Amino acid sequence: MLEIFVDADACPVKAEVERVATRHGLKIHLVSNSGMRPTGNPLVHNVVVSDGADAADDWIAQHVGPGDLVITADIPLASRSLDKGARVIGPKGKTFTAQNIGMALATRALLQHHREAEGTQTFNAGFGPRDRSNFLNVLENEIQAIKRSR
C-alpha cells in the first residue's frame, strides 16, 4: 500500500499533503525532530525522532519502500529514497528522479563548497502561492502514477 513520508520539520506543504492523502485514503508519516501538533486524522502518523542532524532522514530512509512517496527538500534524503524505489517530490513540486538526482547532488556540493570557501550564505527563493499550486498538481500526478503502476 502506498504510504507518504514527509520530512516535516521545515515542510511548508504539510496541510496540502494531508488533504490530498486523506482524499485518497493514504497513510502519512510526518517525521520531525520536534513535536508536531496532532491533527486528529487517523491517517496521519506523527513520528518524533531524537535530536540529530539526520535523525528524521535516517528514519524515513529506513522505513520507505518501493512505490512509496517522499516529500522533502533534502537532496541526500531524496537520493536515499530513490535508491529504495520511492518517488520523491520537493515542496515546490520538483520531482527528483534517477535521471536528475546526480546533478542535484553535484549542485548541492558545489554550493556548499562555495559557502565554505567564501564564508558567505546562499539563500533559497521564497515560497509562494504558485509553488503551492505546482506542488499540489505534482503530488496528485505522482499518486495517480503510483496507483496505475500497481
> Are 10 and 33 contacting, i.e. CB atoms less than 8 angstroms apart?
no
32-81 pLDDT, tens digit per residue, is 988 778 888 999 999 999 877 789 999 999 999 999 999 999 999 999 99
Q: Which residue matches cell numbers 536528475?
A: 100
**CATH of 3-149 given 1.10.3470, 1.10.287, 1.10.1200, 3.40.50:** 3.40.50
For residue range 10-42, list pLDDT tens digits in order.
899 999 999 999 999 999 999 998 877 888 899
All structural domains of the chain with their residue ranges: 3-149
